[in-house]
């Protein structure tokens, strides 16, 4: 295990040019209801940050807000990506600037061939030159992820199993080489074998050129993808930060001790209705998590 930082709130050593991703006092609304109540988080390339938290604590909201989903409204705060105002960028600009979100429930799009889609995505991120090396890179990544070439002719995520979808997300991440990769519950819904392949895929990417934000509510993921920093997100706030030992503590004792500790310190944690209600609940269904369908967002 990596040597744990000594304090609960590790100090981030920003590189000379500033942090890769700097989130300052971020507040996020969904349908005029505040879900994220002020988050500060700094992530640099080469670091792996884990965000733990019970269902409904705002983990996915944070991920979607960072990725520019139109339903998630940032009401205040700042986010910088490589020193630039992330919030001023459209979703596609964020991606092209090196931000990647590995979705918990990747969208299936019938009629769009995986291979064609990947080629266009590579072209968007790296320009025409990327097309030349695309084939070779693709073959290599497919091998690492134990995916067959035939995936390229299949429609995007259409009819993919849970594991196949997650592998496809990792494949896209590996090809697009983000500088900050957010992984939203990538471990959910995976059997042991698929889980290992996905974790190996992520570990193969780890290095000085990419920072990870790994969102999960199981420690299982963190056993394979060892985090440098662990943050506990409850009620729309990061209530505790630490090293890998924090993840172990949560795994063994749950969130209750942290909540009690905060209460003793007199810190009020506003538990959202949803959060309270979903503590003991199974994972939400895809429908509940489909932000467009459930809210009938239409039109261009």
Partner 1 sequence: MTTLVAPGTPTELRGAGLNSDTSRAIGAWRGDPDWVLDWRAQAWAAWETIPMPTPTTEGWRRTNLRILALDKVHAISDAVAHVTSRAELPASLQKAIDTGFDHGAVLVQENGTTILTEVDTQLAGTGVIVCDIHEAIHRYPELVRAHLGTLVPPRWQPGMPSNAGKFEALNAAFFNGGTFVYVPKNTTVALPVRSLVYQSDADAAFFPRSLIIVDENARLTYLDEYTSVNTASPEAPPVFGSAVVEIIIKDGGRVDYTSIQEWSLSTAGFLTQRASLGNNASCNWVAVVLGGMYTRGTADVLLQGKGTRADMLGLAFGEGTQVFDFHTLQDHQSPFTDSDQLYKTAMRDRAHLIYEGLINIRTGSYGSNGYQANRNVLLSDTAKADSIPMLEISDNDVLCTHGSSVGPIDQTHVYYLLTRGLPRPVAERLVIQGFFEPVIERIAVDDLKERVRAAVDRKIGEQD
Residues 275-294 close enough to bind partner 1 by CB under 8 A: 290-293
Name, in order, each residue with C-beta under 8 angstroms of 296's C-beta and a sequence gap of 6 or more.
none
Q: How far apart are CA 299 and CA 246, in angstroms?
A: 44
* Residue span 163-202 as binding mask against partner 1, x where in contact by CB under 8 A, dash where not: ---------x---x--------------------------
- What's the closest the beta carbon of residue 285 comes to partner 1, in angstroms? 15
Q: How far apart are CA 202 and CA 206, in angstroms?
A: 6
The answer to the question of residue 153 lying near partner 1 (CB under 8 A) is no
The answer to the question of residue 101 lying near partner 1 (CB under 8 A) is yes
Strand 155-156 vs strand 180-184: parallel, antiparallel, or unpaired? unpaired
3-state SS string over 247-277? HHHHHHHCCHHHHHHHHHCCCCCCCCHHHHH
The answer to the question of residue 69 lying near partner 1 (CB under 8 A) is yes
Q: How far apart are CA 79 and CA 27, in angstroms?
A: 11
Provide the strand spans (E) within the chain: 21-30, 33-43, 48-52, 72-81, 84-85, 99-102, 109-113, 155-156, 180-184, 211-216, 229-234, 237-242
The answer to the question of residue 95 lying near partner 1 (CB under 8 A) is yes
Q: 79 vs 258, which CB is nearer to partner 1?
A: 79
Q: How far apart are CA 56 and CA 70, in angstroms?
A: 19
- What's the closest the beta carbon of residue 298 comes to partner 1, in angstroms? 5
Q: 131 vs 292, which CB is nearer to partner 1?
A: 292
List C-alpha distances in Å: 137 to 119, 171, 174, 177: 11, 10, 9, 11
Q: 5 vs 284, which CB is nearer to partner 1?
A: 284
Residue 217: which of 173, 261, 183 has the closest Cα? 183
Among 117, 218, 224, 279, binds partner 1 (CB under 8 A): 117
Among 72, 103, 195, 255, binds partner 1 (CB under 8 A): 103
Q: 14 vs 108, which CB is nearer to partner 1?
A: 108
Among 8, 18, 83, 92, binds partner 1 (CB under 8 A): 92
Q: Which span sits near partner 1 by CB under 8 A: 24-32, 95-103, 185-193, 217-225?
A: 95-103
Size, binding site for partner 1 by CB under 8 A: 37
- What's the closest the beta carbon of residue 108 comes to partner 1, in angstroms? 9
- What's the closest the beta carbon of residue 41 comes to partner 1, in angstroms? 20
CB 235 within 8 A of CB 270: yes
CB 34 within 8 A of CB 236: yes
CB 26 within 8 A of CB 39: yes
Interaction site with partner 1 (CB under 8 A): 67-70, 90-92, 94-96, 100-101, 103, 106-107, 109-112, 116-117, 120-121, 124-125, 155-156, 172, 176, 290-293, 297-300
């Amino acid at each position: 295990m990596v040597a744990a930082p000594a304090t609960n709130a590790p100090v981030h050593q920003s590189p000379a040019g500033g942090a890769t991703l700097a989130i300052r006092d971020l507040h996020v609304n969904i349908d005029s209801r505040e879900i994220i109540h002020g988050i500060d988080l700094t992530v640099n390339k080469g670091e792996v940050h884990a965000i733990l938290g019970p269902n409904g604590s705002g983990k996915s909201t944070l991920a979607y807000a960072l990725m520019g989903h139109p339903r998630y409204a940032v009401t205040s705060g700042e986010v910088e990506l490589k020193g630039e105002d992330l919030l001023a960028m459209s979703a596609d600009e964020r991606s092209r600037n090196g931000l990647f979100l590995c979705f918990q429930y990747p969208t299936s799009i019938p009629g769009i061939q995986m291979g064609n889609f990947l080629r266009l995505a590579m072209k968007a991120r790296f320009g025409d030159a990327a097309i030349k090396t695309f084939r070779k890179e693709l073959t290599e990544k497919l091998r690492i992820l134990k995916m067959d070439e035939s995936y390229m002719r299949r429609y995007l995520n259409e009819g993919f199993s849970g594991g196949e979808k997650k592998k496809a997300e990792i494949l896209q991440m590996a090809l697009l080489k983000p500088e900050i990769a957010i992984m939203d519950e990538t471990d959910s819904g995976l059997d042991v074998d698929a889980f290992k392949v996905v974790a190996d895929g992520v570990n193969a990417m780890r290095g000085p050129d990419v920072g990870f934000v790994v969102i999960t509510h199981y420690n299982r993921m963190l056993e394979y993808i060892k985090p440098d920093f662990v943050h506990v997100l409850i009620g729309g706030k990061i209530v505790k930060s630490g090293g890998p030992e924090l993840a172990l503590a949560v795994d063994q004792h749950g969130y209750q001790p942290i909540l009690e500790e905060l209460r003793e310190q007199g810190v009020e944690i506003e538990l959202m209705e949803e959060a309270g209600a979903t503590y003991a609940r199974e994972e939400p269904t895809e429908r509940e998590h489909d932000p467009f369908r459930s809210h009938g967002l239409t039109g261009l």
